[in-house]
């Protein structure tokens, strides 16, 4: 990144920022480095903007889940006489998906439909994923069934959407339908099916699917699959089995592993396992507030008020540096637009 900043300074010295190719390169560089305000500054300074310029800007909004801003940019580029291409629409849909803004997604979908882009597999898949993540399963299904070509990504997005909403029967039906069409499940599809088991408390079915991953589908479970099963077993109240599952994982348990067990301990009021899960979670991330809140709640439910107070004190004394680091990281990922009027973004 230092080389990029140095190069930008040289470009400024030579008054080359007006060159559309150079400007596009700078906008793209800053967007990919999460330096969005710098990208906007270069964008504003460009006397001419083409589809690459606008798409890079929309991609930046998409990576931050700013769906409305992406739609605003999409409309503005039209006003400036720049027609969107398939990549522009793909980035716009992903922006709506990240923000959970289904109304904005409808508008983008409508524009893509009018220009015939919605039948492209990449955009169709992104639309299915967007509707599924927003919980609009009817729209997700309708978009899915209209696709001329359905690939593994199409099926995976729809299965994950139904699983997330607890519609396990529909998720299993889609899984079987996908296989009947000759499409071999991949890692993400199987994670979606395991999540369907998780949301419905189907422990035995979940274990059966997990056990067949390598034998039948040739897919080695990763830490996400193990954590999903850990959650399923823990939610069912089988905490001894959950702890054994965690200890027998072929990976080193991550923060999500221990926090998943900790949540199960809260549900079933298990202080012993809860303390161990809390200690391990805190070792991996001392600044995650949720661990302290859950452990304090476990102690309170057990009538251990003094222990709960100790946890509350620990939470209050989280090292300031760690908190500061998180705040800094958040600022880098989600820039502050409070001082930027939407009407001024494109000036």
Task: Tell me which range, 20-34, 65-79, 229-243, 325-339, is most confidently predicted by mean pLDDT.
Answer: 229-243
Q: Are 85 and 51 in contact (CB under 8 A)?
A: yes
Q: Are 260 and 234 in contact (CB under 8 A)?
A: yes
Q: Answer yes or no: is 295 within a domain.
A: yes
Q: Are residues 154 and 213 in the same domain?
A: yes
Domain count, the chain: 2
Label residue 7 by pLDDT band (50, 70, 90): low
Q: Are residues 256 and 206 in the same domain?
A: no
- Confidence at residue 69, expressed as pLDDT on a 0 to 100 scale: 85
- Confidence at residue 163, expressed as pLDDT on a 0 to 100 scale: 96
Residue 336 has pLDDT above 60, yes or no: no
Report the share of the chain in percent with pLDDT over 90.
67
As a residue count, the chain comes to 347
The pTM of the full predicted model, rounded to 2 decimals, is 0.80
Residue 104, exposed/middle/buried by CB under 10 A (0-12, 13-18, 19+)? buried
- Given 158, 186, 221, the domain boundary residue is 221
Q: Answer yes or no: is 290 within a domain.
A: yes
Residue 201 has pLDDT above 90, yes or no: yes
pLDDT digits over 22-74, tens only? Answer: 878 887 788 777 777 788 888 888 888 999 999 999 988 888 778 788 888 98
CATH number at residue 261: 1.25.40
pLDDT digits over 81-127, tens only? Answer: 999 999 999 999 998 888 888 888 899 999 999 999 988 999 999 99
What is the 3-class SS of 205-263, one letter each residue? HHHHHHHHHHHHHCCCCCHHHHHHHHHHHHHCCCHHHHHHHHHCCCCCCCHHHHHHHHH
Q: Are residues 327 and 251 in the same domain?
A: yes
- Confidence at residue 335, expressed as pLDDT on a 0 to 100 scale: 34
- Give the long-range contacts of residues 4-7, CB within 8 A, separation 24 or more: 4/29, 4/33
Q: Which of 134-138, 155-159, 289-293, 321-325 has the lowest mean pLDDT?
A: 321-325
Residue 309 has pLDDT above 50, yes or no: yes
Residue 345 has pLDDT above 80, yes or no: no
- Confidence at residue 68, expressed as pLDDT on a 0 to 100 scale: 84
Q: Answer yes or no: is 343 within a domain.
A: no
- Residue ranges making up the domain that contains 254: 247-332
The CA-CA-CA angle for residues 284, 286, 287, to 5°, reads 125
Label residue 206 by pLDDT band (50, 70, 90): very high
């Amino acid at each position: 990144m230092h080389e990029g900043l140095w190069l930008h300074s040289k470009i400024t010295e030579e008054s080359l920022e007006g060159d559309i190719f150079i400007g596009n390169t700078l906008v793209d560089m800053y967007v990919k480095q999460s330096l969005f305000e710098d990208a906007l500054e270069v964008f504003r300074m460009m006397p001419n903007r083409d589809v690459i310029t606008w798409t890079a800007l929309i991609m930046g909004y998409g990576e931050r889940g700013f769906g409305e801003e992406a739609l605003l940019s999409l409309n503005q580029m039209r006003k400036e006489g720049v027609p969107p291409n398939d990549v522009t629409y793909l980035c716009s849909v992903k922006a709506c998906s990240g923000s959970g803004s289904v109304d904005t997604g409808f508008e983008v979908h409508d524009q893509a439909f009018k220009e015939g882009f919605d039948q492209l597999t990449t955009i169709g898949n992104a639309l299915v994923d967007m509707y599924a993540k927003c919980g609009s399963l009817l729209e997700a299904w309708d978009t899915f069934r209209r696709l001329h070509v359905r690939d593994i990504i199409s099926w995976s997005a729809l299965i994950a959407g139904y699983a997330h909403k607890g519609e396990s029967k529909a998720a299993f039906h889609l899984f079987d339908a996908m296989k009947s069409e000759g499409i071999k499940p991949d890692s993400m599809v199987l994670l979606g099916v395991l999540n369907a088991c998780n949301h419905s408390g189907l422990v035995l079915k979940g274990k059966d699917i997990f056990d067949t991953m390598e034998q039948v589908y040739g897919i080695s479970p990763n830490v996400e699959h193990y954590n999903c099963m850990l959650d399923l077993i823990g939610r069912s109240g089988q905490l001894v089995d959950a702890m054994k599952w965690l200890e027998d994982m072929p990976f080193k348990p991550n923060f999500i592993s221990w926090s998943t067990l900790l949540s199960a301990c809260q549900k079933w009021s298990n202080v012993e396992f809860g303390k161990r899960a809390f200690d391990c979670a805190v070792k991996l991330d001392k600044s995650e507030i949720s661990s302290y809140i859950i452990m304090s709640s476990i102690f309170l439910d057990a009538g251990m008020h003094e222990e709960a107070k100790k946890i509350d004190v620990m939470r209050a004394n989280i090292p300031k540096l760690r908190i500061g680091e998180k705040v800094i990281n958040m600022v880098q990922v989600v820039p502050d637009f409070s001082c930027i009027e939407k009407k001024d973004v494109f000036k």
